[in-house]
Structure formats: structure tokens, C-alpha cells
Amino acid sequence: MTSTHTQAHASAAARKAAANRVNAKPGRKVFVRILRCDGPGQPSRWETFSVTIERGANVISCLQQIAANPITSDGTRSTPVVWDSGCLEEVCGACTMVINGKVRQSCSCLIDDHAPTEGDTITLEPMSKFPVVRDLWVDRSRLFHNLKRVKAWVPIDGTYALGPGPSESAESQEQRYVMSTCMSCGCCLEACPQFNVEPDPAAWDTAFVGAHALNQARLFNQHETGRRMKGERLDALMGTGGVNDCGNAQNCVKVCPKLIPLTESIAVIGRATTIHAFARWFSGK
Amino acid sequence: MTQHRVIVVGGGLAGLAASIRIAEAGLPVDLFSLVPVKRSHSVCAQGGINACNEVARQQGYSEYEHFDETIYGGDFLADQHPVLEMANWAPKIIDLLDRMGVPFNRTAEGRRDLRLFGGSLFKRTHFAGATTGQQLIYALDEQTRRYESEEKVTKYEYWEFLWPVIEEGRCVGIVAQDMRTMQIRSFRADAVVMATGGCGLVFGKSTNSIICNGAAAARCYQAGVWYGNPEMIQVHPTAIPGADKLRLMSESARGEGGRVWVPRTPRDTRAPKDIPEPERFYFLEEKYPAYGNIVPRDIATREIFDICVNQGMGVGGDNQVYLDLSHKDPEYLTKKLGGILEIYEKFVGVDPRFEPMKIFPAVHYSMGGLWTQFTKGTYNPVEPRVKHKSGAPAPIGSDLGQGLQPGAPNNMMTNVPGLYAFGELNFAYHGANRLGANALLSCIFDGLFCGVSVANYIRNDAPSKSPSCDLPASAFDRVVEQENAKSKRLLDTVSTGDPDPATNPYIIGKELGDEMTAACTVVREDARLGQCLQRLDALKERYTRLKLADDSPWSNQSFTYARAVGDMLAIAEAVALGARGRQESRGAHYRTDFTERDDANFMKSTVARYNAQTRTSSVTFEPIDASLILPTVRTYGKKDAATGPKPPASAVATNA
Amino acid sequence: MASISPLERHAFLLRRLHSLTGIAPIGLFLVSHLLTNSSIVWGLMDSRKAVHGHGGVATFQHEVDFIHSIPFLLIIEVFGLWLPIAFHAALGVYYARSGKANTARYAYQSNWRYRLQRISGYVGILFIFYHVATLRWGWTFLVPGGATWSGEAAASTMALALQGAETGITGAGLAVSIAYMLGVSLLVFHFANGLWTAAITWGVTVSAPAQRRWGFVCAGIGAGMMLMAWSAVIGFATLDVKEARGTEQSLQTGHTPGPQIAETLPQLMPAAASGGH
């Protein structure tokens, strides 16, 4: 219901991609232009590699080709490009990078969709909101740190056999499931104008927490047992860097690969903090 | 005061479950993972997790039948006692996950919904959308994060396990490397839990994540840990061919009514929709009327392989068959299978709700793994029982402790004291073939049930008298030096001469994958396996002349990969040796030259041992304890069961 | 633990006060202020006012006189307006500095509104300062032609301040008028978009459809205010200063205007009204 707009948006892009795909021919050469960096504090540079495209090729298969034969398009011997990846099925979130200017997973990025003709160029950059480790690999520790800020877990009494969990309506399960498909990829953070690079971990607790964490706070506030920590979560989100730091640019929901209603989650947290603040004011604590 | 510590290597379901349980037992845990644990390969499991439940129970199902199905599905090669204990624990594990907040699909009344899965006639599979594995690991990841914030668990993410430290005949720590700074150092521990999953990358392209290269297992193996049933590699019948990997199409697509077929006319050029019903060959339904499309994986795989490779009936003449869901209500499909159908559409560009998918088998799961021990529980019948009749009353109740003795220190301990193997890395549960939706269960069960064993080992055994923190540094430094030397040797190759494909680690890795897929997957045969072993020797020789393209001392990914290739070669050899030595057909292991199961000689665990001096593997076959269930012929009610599928001897499996 | 600043300790309160002050009193004042000022156009439709000459001028004068009749006006002005604006502006700048616009890469409409909200805030601060300094505090050196606004001759002096000379609009006058046009447009956008985001901030609109629906309402409010704002600026920028002065004198002396003025009215009205579009 809430993601109709996003889906319409996604399907328009999908239609364009499908049209490109029809014209694309395997065996063609395309250029992969990569923003490289040898390590933290090192200067960045562009390198271009020429890659022969096989059927169904994606950005990952291009990077694999380059790793095996790291020679740039002008014939210079270089080093294999470093990148982060895992499942290659768009469920682990590891291979997120900026492709042709937009953040997304590289595994689900088909070359036919983005560089359909001979000699096309596809541009890869590391995410800009996290410190670069090397080349396309960035350090997303802050993203996980922010899950601790919102206490994104259910406070169970240990792993002993203590019977079933709370019963839940199918409707609530469907809502929670979508929220729970967040794979911590960081697309929402990369596209957010309010979330900016912060290499100093000491500043993480007061910098913007990000849409992914707000969504997790909502997810656990909605769970029967998780709700018992709602107050703590809201307290954390009412401070500096909390929900109020959201600027409502709403890019997050448009780039989320899992179509999670992030802006809805932000508003739910907004409402909860409003109520929480009034309750606290009147309860005299 | 002595501070005991435990190291867990691997942050998938088994590693996280173990970390949580061990931390709960009051022992601090150091958790090592190649990736942030939330990105572990467990996220890829789609279908669900099996457990007896009230609805199935009232229809005649029981924990015992789950146990029986698992043993039967594994073609009587699994350790029977651990499987019994696992089946009895399964409902409790579901409850626990439920308490952790896993969004299991719900019925209208708000109870956990169930689906049908391969190998059972009862609905016993719990699921969370089409990404059950993802949802389960997220729940465990959240609990681990909670313990991390309480400083009970310390995470070492982007750290690679390099070698176990074995001193006084027991495992007392590990040596690991920070994949960013490339620092190599040792870590002390009183017990080490290996939970590093399978080895799909040994077969090149598979359904596994890029991190499932089996290197950690191979390093333990080369350090003296035995490897059990290496040849038991599950090939998943339904995967989507791709350029970088083969993506899984979950068994739940069949469970929800997916029908497998090919046109009756080979190379029929019509669109699938235009082929009328009588001209479609639903070969699984015709051959297996009882189970139809939900026959177990090894059978489905061989039948699809047979149709394509032997009979040349693959769609369009290629190695692919239709997996058809287009007769189902699209709304229903979106609700039940949304996630996995999305994957197909995303990577192929066709909507499977309206057009049949094209699929082919791919390497999926390693039933084999590090060899482990256990202490039997209280259920020890005088004679093994005959196969349980589906739906009949269970002969025993589901009390805990009947299969395994809870907390026994050797539960899932390898032959090296203090070194445990949990999850996919453990060879114990799935025998010759794993049933769908049993993997998630075995991983979590290992972590939760055997985590207590780890704690008891530390408190009652050798570590209580001689804790690792009191051992001399030399034992640890020696292994650090060994690993430093290994890495120096590889890095020093960069400056030597021009690149040559023969010594390129990526090309060696690719050739290894191609060879293993061709010789050691769907069908196997003695001469071909002999040839495979020779080729592995050639690859090993080329590996000694390996040449790297990057000698950076910082985040050197190609170095990390190159080092792993050497370890993958060791595992590959164990797989091929096991496959050659096992002169019978059983479960996923199908020999064209020995098409029958041979219980007299081979109802035994394959145990591979590595000789560090000669750098070679050897296998022996060791008896298993099959005192609970009597083996029967595994036919899944196939019509004319005696003949069986017969791929020709020359057939070579390809998964591309 | 390091000591935290009051800004951090009261982060939530300050954020919500920032949001609240934007709506009330500032937003409400903006609506009433635009209503008053656009009376230079809509006043033409009030036939009772036409007896004094230019109906818009008369209505505007009437409105201004009413405001000036409010007791303790200065106190209300300082505490109900200037301080809230200063508070909203100062915090707004502080908050806006934490963001980094990225419309080049993510050219979504909502992202553009995010960016424009910040730009309009900055421009709005400068504009309000100029507006208040020149017309309220009498910093006439910033006014083209150096006119001083007077509450007694509200419309004519306002027109003079925009146009730069009695004889008609000058170059500097045109520049100031355009600046006014831009300034009020941005402020109206800032308010309407702020109304939309405030509903999310406070959790009034939660679902995407609700946010979209409220977006239409805010756009409607914004369009109405934009019409008033443009009417006011164009109305004053095109007002005949001399004629306005005549109407104002007529209002002061209580004289009904001479018959010749009454006769010219029918021609004036459509001209002025069309200027308000």
C-alpha cells in the first residue's frame, strides 16, 4: 500500500532497463571506469578497464574479470580492484557502491541495463558517506553502531526453552517482515543529505542516526516484547542526531532496494516521540 | 583469577547461536568473521526451517517422524543420535526464534503458518516470507549485538581465520589476520568453535556466497582435524544460471505448487504458454506420483540432469528445464514467494508469475565437513527400528536428552580436543543428502545445544587445569611465524617476471571450479575421478609457482583470495578421494559404475586425513552408529523403483 | 562523560519549538500580513472603501490603522514576532548547516524541496531583515529614493519605497521590487513546505498516501498565499503614488472625494486589478 509510489518508480526504471536489455549483445566491449584509492588518507584516482561482456553479466562479473587481468584500457598494468561483496543475490547488502552516480547493489546491476551498446562506459565509485578502506570497499561500522543506539533487539530472557513468543496478526507480521528485510546496505544513508561522512567514532552518537536505524526502532517498538524498550529507544532518538535531524528530503525511500517504507517509519517515530515527550512532561519525570 | 575465553570463528547462524549461548553461560566470546556477521551466507537460505508443530502432530506427525525423514533423506549416512536430538529440539528452537521477534508468516488467527517442503508429506516448515535465513540470522545478529553492547561478545569482523593453535594436544587459540591492515596475530582461547560453513567456491560458480570457499575448514584439516564425508556435496536441482554465480531458486517454489516440465518434443521452439498441456512432459510427477515435484533434492537433480544431458530434452536444447508457477494466482505467489520471484525477475528480467522460469542444478550445500563426536543419550533400543510409517504413532516421546547427552563436552567436538565444528561445517546431521529446511535447524541446534558442551569442556576438562592464558607465548608465536612466512612467500611473487595465466590465482581457481563441477557433482565415475585427481595435482604444482598482481600491505584482497586457493585445493582433493573411494551410490553421491547402495561396505563415514609431511590426503571408511533405524531402500515411492535413473557413464555435469 | 551543551540537552524541545514557531506565531503572522498587504488589490473589490478614492489604498490604510490600534503593540511585536523569528532563524541556520545538498545526483522533487527549504530560509532571513530595517526601523539609506514608510500614509509610502520615485518606478526601484517578489515567494514556499514537513515531524501524517494528501493541501495553501504575496508586491509596485496620497488625505480629512475622482474609478479598478495577477 505505502510503497505503491516507489514501486511505480521502480517499474518505470525496470521498463527502461528491459528496453536496453533487448538491444544489448553479448561479446561487446564496455569500459568500466573506477574511482580508486589505495587506502585511508591516500589520493583518489580514476582508472578505466575494458571488459568483454558475457550473457547476463553484472558489475560483479566485470570486477572479477578485472581482478584476474588488471590491465587498464590504455594497456597499463594495475592491481586488482578491491570491493566488498557476499551473497551476490541482493540479500546481504555488502556490494553496495555508487554506480553511474547513484547508490545501489552492484550484484543486481546488469551491464545490459546500464551499458547496452559497444563502447559504453559504466562508472563505479565507493559510497561517499563512509570512510574508504580501499578502492570500492568502505567501512560501514557506523551503520551497525547506530543499530546499538536504537537498541534494535528484543530483550528476551535468554535462550532457554520458555515457550512460544507472542501471537501476532498476519497484518502486523507483513508490516514487520518488510521492515525486517533491511540488509544494512547503507543506500538510504548514502542518498541522505543529512547523513554525512564522520570518520571519528566519538562523534557517531550525536550525528544523524539514519533512516535504517529509525526503521529498526519502529520494527522493535511494534513487537510485543520489543515494545518494552520503546521508551529507551525513543529517549535515544529524541536527542541530537535523532529523528529530528531528518530533513524530509525522502531520498531514502526512493533508493531503498528492499522498498522499505522508510519515510513512514520516520513519521511513526516522529509521532511516538511527540506522544512520549508529552507523556513524560505530564508524568512529571 | 583465571579468565577463560572462547573463540567462535564464523558469524552465520551456527556461529551466532554458539556465541549467544556461550556468552550466556558466562564465558566471554571473541567472534571472528570475514564479513560483518549480518552479511553471512545464512542470509541466502530462503525456504524455511523444519519442526514438528501442533497441526502436523494432530495429523499424525511427530518429532520422531522428522528424525526418521532426516535419516531416510540422508540415505542412512547421518549420525542417528544427533539427528534424533535435533528433531526433538526443533519445536523449541522455533519458539525461541519466535520470542526473538522473527516475523514468521502468520495464519488468520495469528499463529505460525506452515508450508510443505521436500521429503515430507506433512506441513512442517516454518517460514518468514521468502527470506527465512535472512530473518533468522537477523534475529541472532540482534541478540549478539545486545551482548556486544553488554561486552559479553567481542566482534572481530573482517578478520580471517588462518590456523588453529594446537598445543598439549588440544586447541588453545587461533591465528588470524585483519583483512584491512593485514596484521597477523594470535588469539588465545580455551575452546575454539569453527562455524565457517560450506565450500561451494571449490566448485567455481555455485549458489554459495563469495566467502564460502572452505578455506577455514581446509586449514583445520591441514592442521590435523579429520574431515568427514567430503564427497557428499548437495547439488540443488533448481538454480538460475548467471555470469558471476548460480542463484538459488528455493525449493519452496516447488513446495508452493511449482511444476517441473519440458516440452515433449525436444527443441520445441514455441513459447511455453503456447505449448498445450498434453505436449508437456511433467517428468517428476509422472515418475514419482506420491511426491511428484517435491521429491528430495538429489532425486530431482538427477532427473533434471537426465532429461537434459542424457535425453537431450532440455528447453531449447540447452541445459535447462521449466519450473512453472504461472498456473498459480499471482497475488498468492507474491505473498508467499515474493522475495525469491523478485530475485529471478531482477537477474533474468522475466516475471515468473506469468512465465515459467528456466532452471538447472547447481552446487548448493556441503553435507560433509569436519568430523565430530558426540555422547549418546538415553534412547538406545535393543534393535534398530524399521522405517517409520508416515503418520503412524511415534514409538518414543520427544523428551530431550534421548539422542544426545546434553552438555557432554565432546558433543560436536572434532578429533582435536577443544576444537568444535558447528553448522554446515559439521558433517554429522545430513548424511548423504540434506532435506530442505533442515540446514537452518542444524546450524541453530549446534550453536544452542552444543554451546553448553563447550562451556562444560572448559570448566571440567583440560582448560580448567591449564588455561590458555597461562601457556607460553612460543606456541602462539610459532604459528604466527608460519603464517607470516606463507604470506611473505606469496607477496614476494609480485616482482617476478611477466604475468602468466598458468600461475594466475584467479585462473587456477576457475580451472579448479570447472574440474570439480565436471567430475565431482551430479554423476561420478572411477576413471573420471582418477583424471580429476591428476588434474588437481597439476593445479597444486602450478599453485607452487603462483604469481600475485598486487603486493600492497593494505587490504590486499587478491592476496587473501590467492592464499585461499591453496586451501581450496586441499579440500578438493579430499572430495575427489572420498568420491572415488566410495564405490556405491548413496544420496547426493551417484556413481555410474556403482549404481546401487552398498550398506555392507559403505554405510560408513568417509574420514579424510591430511598428512602434513607428504601434503597428501587419504580416506578411510569408519563405521557409524546406526542403532536406531534400520536402513531401507530409499525410493520415495517411485514407480518401478528397481530401475532408477540411469545417466550414461560418459555424462559430465555442468552447472553453467 | 563530556559535558553536553544546552543545545544538546534540550535538543528535542528546541527542535519542536523550532517547528512550532515556524507555524505559530511566524506562519500565522505571515498569513495575516499577506492578507493585509494584498488588500491593496482585494480592497478594490470593496465598494464601500471606494468612496475615498482608491479602494485598495483605503482598505490597506484601514487595516494598518487597525493594527496600530492594538494596545502594547511594541511588546507584542518584540515577543510575538521578532524574537520568534530570530529564534527560528538562528536555529534554522544551525540545523541547516548539518546537511549537504545532493540534488545533482538525486534529483527527486522531495530532495529539491529539501534544498529549497534551506535556500529559502537563508534568503528569507536577509529579506526579512531588509524589510523590517527599511520599513519599520527607518533605515532609509537602504531604500531606493530614501522614502520613509509612514503608518498614516501606508500605501503611498509603501509604493514609494518599492518604486523609488513619485514619478514611477526607477531602476533601483525595479531591483527592489523584484527582490521583494523573490523574497516573498521563497518565504511562502518555506512556510507551505514547512507545514508539510511539520506534519511528518510531529507524526500527524504517517503513511505515504497521507503525506501525499497533506502535500496537496499544503500546495493549495501555498498557492493561495503566493497569490496574496504577488498581489501585494505587484499592487504596490504599480500603484500611482499621487493618487494613493489623494485617497489617504481624503481618509484623514474625512472628505468624500470629489465627483471627478469618483468618475475615474471605473477605469482605475480593472487596471489595478489586472496588476494583481
pLDDT tens-place string over residues A27-71 = 999 999 999 999 999 999 999 999 999 888 999 999 999 999 999
Judge: C98–A194 Cβ closer than 8 Å, yes or no.
yes
Which residues 136-165 of B have a C-beta within 8 angstroms of A?
138-139, 142-143, 145-146, 148-149
Q: What is the CATH number of the domain that holds B256?
A: 3.90.700.10
In a shared domain, residues A175 and A200: yes
Which cell numbers in the block locate residue B103?
516475523
> Which residue matches cell numbers 574431515?
B227
Residues of B in contact with A158 (CB under 8 A): 24
Number of domains in chain A: 2
What's the whole-number mean pLDDT along residues B314-338?
91
In a shared domain, residues A104 and A144: no
Which residues 126-165 of A have a C-beta within 8 angstroms of B?
133-134, 137, 139-140, 144, 147-148, 151-156, 158-159, 161-165
- Model pLDDT, residue B512: 98
- Model pLDDT, residue B2: 62
Beta strands in A38-176 (DSSP E): 44-52, 96-99, 102-105, 121-125, 132-134, 137-138
**Pairing status of strand B616-623 against strand B259-263:** unpaired
Residues of A in contact with C203 (CB under 8 A): 267-275
Q: What is the CATH number of the domain that holds A217?
A: 1.10.1060.10
Domain presence at residue A161: no
The angle at the Cα of A110, spanning A107 to A113, to the nearest 5 degrees, equals: 150
In a shared domain, residues B45 and B172: yes
In a shared domain, residues A124 and A173: no
Q: Residues of chain A whose pLDDT is less than 70?
A: 1-14, 284-285
Domain presence at residue A144: yes
Tens of pLDDT, residue by residue over B185-237, are 999 999 999 999 999 999 999 999 999 999 999 999 999 999 999 999 999 99
Distance, in Å, from the CA atom of A55 to the CA atom of B243, rounded to the nearest integer, reads: 7
pLDDT above 90: residue B78: yes
Domain boundaries, position B347:
236-362
Which of B317, B332, B362 marks a domain boundary? B362
Which cell numbers in the block locate residue C53?
478614492
Domain presence at residue B656: no
Domain presence at residue B563: yes
Question: H or E stretch including C134?
Answer: helix C109-135
- Collapsing DSSP states into helix, strand and coil, what is residue B146? helix
**CB-CB contact of B570 with B222 (8 Å):** yes
Which of A86, A153, A154 faces B35 most closely, judged by CB atoms? A86
What is the SS3 assignment for B200-246? HHHHCCCCCCCCCCCHHHHHHHHCCCCEECCCCEEEEEEEECCCCCC
Domain presence at residue A92: yes
Is the ipTM beyond the 0.90 threshold?
Answer: yes
User: For C168, left (φ over 0), alpha (ψ -120 to 50), or beta?
Assistant: left
In a shared domain, residues B340 and B376: no
pLDDT above 70: residue C95: yes
In a shared domain, residues A131 and A144: no
Whose CA is closest to B346, among B655, B47, B656, B130? B130
Which residues are paired to B591 by β-bridges? B524, B594
In a shared domain, residues A102 and A204: no
Prior bond to B36 cis, omega within 30? no
In a shared domain, residues B288 and B417: no
Domain presence at residue B645: no
Whose CA is closest to B299, among B590, B629, B565? B590
Domain presence at residue A202: yes
In a shared domain, residues B33 and B137: yes
Distance, in Å, from the CA atom of B207 to the CA atom of B246, rounded to the nearest integer, reads: 5
- Collapsing DSSP states into helix, strand and coil, what is residue A200? coil
Least confident of B46-60, B342-356, B583-597, B637-651: B637-651
Judge: C99–A247 Cβ closer than 8 Å, yes or no.
yes
Residues of C in contact with A268 (CB under 8 A): 203, 206
In a shared domain, residues B225 and B251: no
Which of B470, B495, B520 marks a domain boundary? B470
User: For A88, left (φ over 0), alpha (ψ -120 to 50), or beta?
Assistant: left
Whose CA is closest to C166, among C140, C146, C136? C146
- Model pLDDT, residue A285: 60
pLDDT above 50: residue B647: no
In a shared domain, residues A76 and A186: no
The burial of B71, by beta-carbon neighbours within 10 Å (0-12 exposed, 13-18 middle, 19 or more buried), is given as: buried
Q: Give every CB contact of residue C232 below 8 A, 6+ residues apart in sequence.
A: C34, C37, C38, C40, C41, C184
- Collapsing DSSP states into helix, strand and coil, what is residue B281? strand
What's the whole-model pTM score?
0.92
Distance, in Å, from the CA atom of A36 to the CA atom of A250, rounded to the nearest integer, reads: 30
Number of domains in chain B: 3
Whose CA is closest to B370, among B140, B139, B543, B608? B608
Q: What is the CATH number of the domain that holds A91?
A: 3.10.20.30
In a shared domain, residues A24 and A130: yes
**CA trace torsion B126, B131, B134, B139 (10° rounding):** -40
Domain presence at residue B177: yes
pLDDT above 90: residue B336: no
In a shared domain, residues A80 and A196: no
- Model pLDDT, residue A10: 52
Domain presence at residue B641: no
Which of B320, B337, B362 marks a domain boundary? B362
Domain presence at residue B541: yes
- Collapsing DSSP states into helix, strand and coil, what is residue B365? strand
The angle at the Cα of C85, spanning C80 to C29, to the nearest 5 degrees, equals: 55
Q: Give Dmax (Cα) for chain C.
A: 81
The average confidence (pLDDT) of chain B is 93
Q: How far is A179 from chain C (nearest CA, A)?
A: 14
pLDDT above 80: residue C167: yes
Residues of A in contact with C109 (CB under 8 A): none
Judge: A133–B180 Cβ closer than 8 Å, yes or no.
yes
CATH placement of domain C6-275: 1.20.1300
Question: H or E stretch including C260?
Answer: helix C259-275
Domain presence at residue B203: yes
Cα R_g (chain B), whole angstroms: 24
Catalytic annotation, residues of B: 297
Domain presence at residue A159: no
Lay out the sheet containing A121-125: strands in order across: A44-52, A29-37, A121-125, A96-99, A102-105
Tens of pLDDT, residue by residue over A105-127, are 999 999 999 999 999 999 999 99
Whose CA is closest to A60, among A138, A143, A136? A136
The average confidence (pLDDT) of chain C is 90
Helix ranges, chain A (H): 4-23, 59-68, 111-114, 141-149, 170-180, 187-190, 211-222, 230-238, 251-255, 262-283
**CB-CB contact of B109 with B99 (8 Å):** no
In a shared domain, residues A192 and A90: no
Distance, in Å, from the CA atom of B365 to the CA atom of B431, rounded to the nearest integer, reads: 12
Cβ of B565 under 8 Å from any chain A Cβ?
no
In a shared domain, residues A68 and A124: yes
Cβ of C146 under 8 Å from any chain A Cβ?
no
Domain boundaries, position A8:
4-137
Which cell numbers in the block locate residue B21?
549461548
